[in-house]
Chain A
Amino acid sequence: MTTDQPDPTTQPEADGAPVGRRLVLGTLALGALGVAAAPPLQRGLERFLGAASDKDPTGLTELLPNGGGFRYYSVASSVPRKNASSYRLAVTGLVERPATYTLAQLRARPQTRIVRDVQCVTGWRVPDTPFEGVRLSRLLDAAGVRPTARAVRFTCFDGTYSESLTLEQARRSDVLVALRMQDKDLNHAHGGPVRLYVAPMYFYKSAKWLSGIELTARVEPGYWERKGYDVDAWVGRSNGRSDDPTA
């Protein structure tokens, strides 16, 4: 087959334009441009994907960046599952009346429903997400906080995660011991059966799989805070970020 033979008029292999180098530099430039133009691009894509994932029966859009809203973060190797019979929430530390609550006892208390945006410190935001549960301040009042207590430390049944708030922050009316999210009982992946919900702060403050509330004399930095995140994690006013406040 003569057509399979090389064309003798073709220039030698090592000559020709340095297109490879241009492609490398062009890709780099596009990357830099992408970073510079990210805020408007991201807003547009989030709006589009948010709408698309509502109508997507396959769930594939959830695999796209920011496609499905929430992302699953766990710092432990495995997280035990707790249900209505095995779950306990202990209120301990500098209190007059230490208490342990079952899931049924938490459900029997007055419930508060709050609808706010959820903002993660890594950038993703989920609009208008309802949380429902018991106001933390009510549990604190029931336990009788001693005058020496200045802060609250939260521990989780994943055995690793911890969080903390000042007593003043913990008493806010938009801080819940949440039992429900998006009008459904909290499932395991979202920190169920019970998680903390701190509406005005970045979502790492809303500890999943909540199992302990301990009153302490001063703020003890939590898991991510020991790794450099801000303890006072107000959305838009901490961690060097400028997101719209969530509360």
Chain B
Amino acid sequence: MRRFSAGERWVHRGTAWLMIVCVLSAACLYVPQLAELVGRRALVVDVHKWSGLLLPVPFLAGLASRAFRADLRLLNRYGAHDRRWLSAVRHRDPRRKARWAGKFNAGQKVYAAWVGGAVLVMLGTGLVMWRTDLFPLLWRTSSTFVHDWLALTLGLVLLGHIALAVRDPEARRGMRTGSVDQGWAEREHPLWRR
């Protein structure tokens, strides 16, 4: 059964590739061993800046898609079942009935919103570090501080995102092909109205 439209999958694909380029170039600027191996600092800085700047583009282009806008609405709204899902996670309650979810479970909603906000913070602090002609240089150190620590946090959260996807082949199939198995949908997303 249908889970994601072609447009939505392209938004995910575009965001994922830009994010990979952005994270890898960041690692080459930041991890001493990698920086030593790669060098070419000015070039890597360019790759990092542009992949970061373009990161919101797939999202913005996706706003043209009705399916994408509808899913954004679902990601935004939290019902009673979402609060129950989050409290079940907090209390390590493994029972399935405590983990009801619509098309997106509460964890996916929190992830989407937090990553959205974090990318905007990275973009803002990144721009301050880049365009020292537009912002006071004094802000640069403070922005670097937030950019560095948030990058580390974002990297761990992305690893979590990838680890959860690795554990669930059917969820991956949904993002790859757009369709998922009916049984999987009823099990993982019982409140999803199709």
Contacts and interface: CB of A to CB of B under 8 A. Distances in A.
Interface in A1-60: 3-7, 10-21, 23-28, 30-32, 34-36, 38-39, 41-42
Nearest to A63: B31
Given A10-B191, A28-B117, A65-B152, A75 B146 contact: no
A71 B109 CA distance: 37
A73 B35 contact: yes
Contact of B117 (A25, A123, A240, A242): A25
Contacts of B95: 3
B9 interface: no
B74 A14 contact: yes
B87 to A, nearest CB: 14
A38 B144 CA distance: 9
Contacts of A79: 39
A14 B152 contact: no
A167 B81 CA distance: 73
Nearest to A238: B137
B32 A15 contact: no
B3 interface: no
A78 B38 CA distance: 7
A73 B132 contact: no
A27 B73 CA distance: 19
B138 A240 contact: yes
Interface stretch (B16-24, B120-128, B159-167, B174-182): B120-128
B113 A72 contact: no
A78 B190 contact: no
Contact of B140 (A11, A17, A39, A123): A123
Contacts of B133: 228
Contacts of B148: 65-66
B164 to A, nearest CB: 18
A11 B81 CA distance: 8
Interface residues of B, number: 62
A31 B136 contact: no
Interface residues of A, number: 57
Nearest to A19: B78
A220 B125 CA distance: 32
B42 interface: yes
A99 to B, nearest CB: 30
Contacts of B142: 35-36, 38-39, 42
B47 interface: no
Interface of B: 30-32, 35-36, 38-42, 73-82, 95-97, 100, 102-103, 109-110, 112-114, 116-118, 120-121, 124-125, 128, 132-133, 136-146, 148-150, 152, 186-187, 190-193
12 contacts: A10-B79, A11-B79, A13-B192, A14-B74, A24-B114, A24-B117, A27-B114, A34-B121, A39-B141, A65-B149, A68-B32, A240-B137
Interface of A: 3-7, 10-21, 23-28, 30-32, 34-36, 38-39, 41-42, 62-66, 68, 71-79, 122-123, 189, 227-228, 239-242
Q: Which 7 A-B pairs have the closest CB atoms?
A: A27-B117, A240-B137, A31-B121, A38-B142, A65-B148, A23-B113, A20-B76
